[in-house]
Amino acid sequence: MDLQLKTIAFALLILQVSSSVRAQSGVLDISKYGGATNGDISQAMIKAWNDACASTNPSKIVIPQGTFLLKQTEFKGPCTAPIEVQVDGTIQAPQDPNQFDGEAQWIKFTYVNFLTISGGGTFDGQGAIAWNQNDCAQNKICKKLSMNFGFGFLNNTVIRDITSKDSKNFHVNVLGCNNITFTNFNAIAPANSPNTDGIHIGRSTGVNITNSIFATGDDCISLGDGSKQVNVFNVKCGPGHGISVGSLGKYPEEEPVQDFSVKNCIINNTDNGVRIKTWPDTPGATTVTGMHFENIEMINVRNPIIIDQEYCPWNQCTKENPSKIKISQVSFKNITGTSGTKEGIVLLCSSGVPCEDVVLTDIDLKFNGTVASAVLSNVKPIIQGKSLSLSNTIPKVEL
């Protein structure tokens, strides 16, 4: 059993153990705290959370079926015992973005050990009005919009059977967490909704995303600096911008990104498939190592495989100096399907620190029925197996 499967198996064991514990927990129904259907449950949720957090026994907070309103709220630990938040209904955010502190998230969980969020419910960010006010593509000092979820400094956490809908910004931000698992998690927003990334991960270790669906207006999953031991398994992505490492290098003192595995996924009608992106001519100088992408089906993906070390959206930088981010130990294996452009593989590495140990195995991408080609810069990949997309581009290397 490889490291990724061992990690996922351990995460699922934590899920099963936590579920068994919670079966015996005290139930805190928000209706007992004054929470009513079609009403504002902000105070009811805070009271229920405070009781659960103070309890020395495992607790379960229940939001029953129905529609409820919730203002911007933080649920903070440390807490004494495990807590499960079971959401059976739909929780709606205020529509007006001015009711939010855009620097924070709509719903924030911080400094908690053994947290579970479950139940099959939906968190509706009601982001349509906010999307129309998003001018960040033209304005560098634009007003920030709130995300649906902020998970900060959590340990041993499971989010399962939950849908995040129409977030005003990112659906989920994971920061400073250890051993956090998303399973049967859905992040849904229209393709034209700006910056609605599914899950963004930063400075966290042991993040598992399995059996989930992402259909958004930006990256399905993205990794910021300091992300380590992240596993993505059996995920459907699209529409959106694909699964991305980065962007990296824009800021000084960024931490390394390492050990990222993406397996058995379908990426459908996205701008990008699997991507690593770093800024040129910026102060950040760190490393990206151990990136592995395997058994991925691309369906009409504009850029199925891409390393872009000249990432500079909206002309917010120059390309006078190369990226300082060193990329190494990257593998793409059994990547098949259709490309929306004739260049199925684009590897634009830094001239200052060229990519090393890049391996492409059994790549079979077609554009309009013909074999897609490759564009390479500052990289000499090792080619194995079929690699049809590279057959007319660079020599095949037999090992």
Angle, alpha carbons 196-343-281 (nearest 5°): 60
Q: Are residues 253 and 340 in the same domain?
A: yes
Q: Is the pLDDT of residue 23 over 80?
A: no
The predicted structure's pLDDT at residue 2: 62
Which parts of 199-256 are beta strand (E)? 199-202, 205-215, 221-223, 228-237, 243-248
Residue 16 phi, psi (nearest 5): -65, -40
How would residue 11 be classed by pLDDT, with cut points 50, 70 and 90? low
Q: Is the pLDDT of residue 398 over 60?
A: no
Q: Are residues 150 and 241 in the same domain?
A: no
Q: Are residues 148 and 274 in the same domain?
A: no
Ranking 44-53, 160-169, 317-326 by mean pLDDT, the lowest is 317-326
Q: Are residues 374 and 257 in the same domain?
A: yes
Residue 197 lies in a domain: no
Q: Are residues 147 and 258 in the same domain?
A: no
Last residue of a domain, one of 108, 123, 156: 156
Domain residues for 258? Answer: 219-399
Residue 75 lies in a domain: yes
Residue 95 lies in a domain: yes
Higher pLDDT: 49 or 398? It is 49
Number of independent structural domains in the chain:
2
Q: Is the pLDDT of residue 6 over 70?
A: no
Q: What is the mean pLDDT of the chain?
A: 91
Taking residues 279-284, what's their average pLDDT?
Answer: 92
How would residue 314 be classed by pLDDT, with cut points 50, 70 and 90? confident
The predicted structure's pLDDT at residue 14: 52
Q: Is the pLDDT of residue 65 over 90?
A: yes
Q: Is the pLDDT of residue 396 over 70?
A: no
CATH number at residue 326: 2.160.20.10
241 is catalytic: yes
Residue 366 lies in a domain: yes
Q: Are residues 275 and 359 in the same domain?
A: yes
Q: Are residues 257 and 392 in the same domain?
A: yes
Report the chain's C-alpha Rg in angstroms: 22
How would residue 12 be classed by pLDDT, with cut points 50, 70 and 90? low
Q: Is the pLDDT of residue 270 over 70?
A: yes
- In sign, the C-alpha dihedral spanning 312, 372, 399, 7 is positive
| Interstrand relation of 199-202 and 113-118 (parallel, antiparallel or unpaired) | unpaired
Hunting for tokens 């930088």 — which residue is that?
317
Q: Are residues 129 and 228 in the same domain?
A: no
Calpha distance 70→144 (Å, rounded): 20
How would residue 388 be classed by pLDDT, with cut points 50, 70 and 90? low
Residue 281 lies in a domain: yes
Taking residues 239-259, what's their average pLDDT?
Answer: 96
Q: Are residues 269 and 394 in the same domain?
A: yes
Ranking 3-7, 123-127, 131-135, 356-360 by mean pLDDT, the lowest is 3-7
Higher pLDDT: 139 or 159? It is 159
| Interstrand relation of 243-248 and 272-278 (parallel, antiparallel or unpaired) | parallel
Residue 59 lies in a domain: yes
Residue 98 lies in a domain: yes
How would residue 20 be classed by pLDDT, with cut points 50, 70 and 90? very low
Taking residues 148-166, what's their average pLDDT?
Answer: 98
Q: Are residues 121 and 232 in the same domain?
A: no
Higher pLDDT: 360 or 390? It is 360
Q: Are residues 225 and 352 in the same domain?
A: yes
The percentage of the chain sitting over the pLDDT mark of 70, rounded to a whole number, equals 90
Ranking 143-152, 177-186, 286-295, 296-305 by mean pLDDT, the lowest is 143-152
How would residue 21 be classed by pLDDT, with cut points 50, 70 and 90? very low
The predicted structure's pLDDT at residue 317: 81
The predicted structure's pLDDT at residue 177: 98
Q: Are residues 256 and 127 in the same domain?
A: no
Residue 192 lies in a domain: no
Q: Is the pLDDT of residue 206 over 70?
A: yes
Ranking 18-22, 52-56, 73-77 by mean pLDDT, the lowest is 18-22
Structure tokens at 392: 């007319």
